[in-house]
């Protein structure tokens, strides 16, 4: 069964620093990997989707990389701002469970002014 792990569970950085968030998965036969943001008491907001054939995806200050062979994805957030404070989750779908998402527990980020 696919296991998704996000380390660290929590992270605090001063404003302006770059954020590096990690996601690892045990089954490299993934179909897609998706990064989400969740604010307290809210639903999930999709940030980036990386298809299995892609190595990275970019949107504004966000960049996500994917290395299937090592079972890792990294989300980079450049020049962090207090508004980036949230929990970030990654989720994968695998080729034998197409359309079903397996989630990590998330990394809670605090950006201090």
**To the nearest whole angstrom, how small is the minimum distance from the Cβ of residue 111 to other proteins?**
21
Binding mask 74-103 for other proteins (x = CB under 8 A): ---------------x-x-x----xxxx-x
Binding piece for other proteins, criterion CB under 8 A, among 14-22, 26-34, 60-68, 71-79: 26-34
SS3 77: strand
Give the interface segment with other proteins, choosing from 11-19, 36-44, 64-72, 77-85 (CB under 8 A): 36-44
Q: Cα separations (Å) of 94 from 16, 43, 101, 102, 104?
A: 35, 23, 8, 9, 14
Q: How far is the CB of 68 from other proteins (least distance, A)?
A: 16
């Amino acid at each position: 069964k696919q296991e998704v792990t996000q380390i660290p569970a929590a992270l605090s950085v001063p404003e302006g620093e770059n954020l590096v968030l990690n996601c690892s998965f045990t089954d490299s036969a993934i179909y897609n990997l998706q990064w989400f943001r969740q604010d307290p008491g809210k639903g999930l907001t999709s940030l980036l989707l990386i298809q299995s054939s892609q190595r990275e995806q970019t949107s504004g200050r966000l960049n996500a990389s994917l290395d299937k062979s090592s079972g890792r994805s990294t989300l980079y957030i450049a020049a962090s701002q207090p508004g980036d404070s949230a929990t970030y989750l990654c989720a994968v779908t695998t080729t034998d469970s197409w359309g079903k998402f397996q989630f990590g527990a998330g990394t809670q980020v605090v950006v201090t002014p």
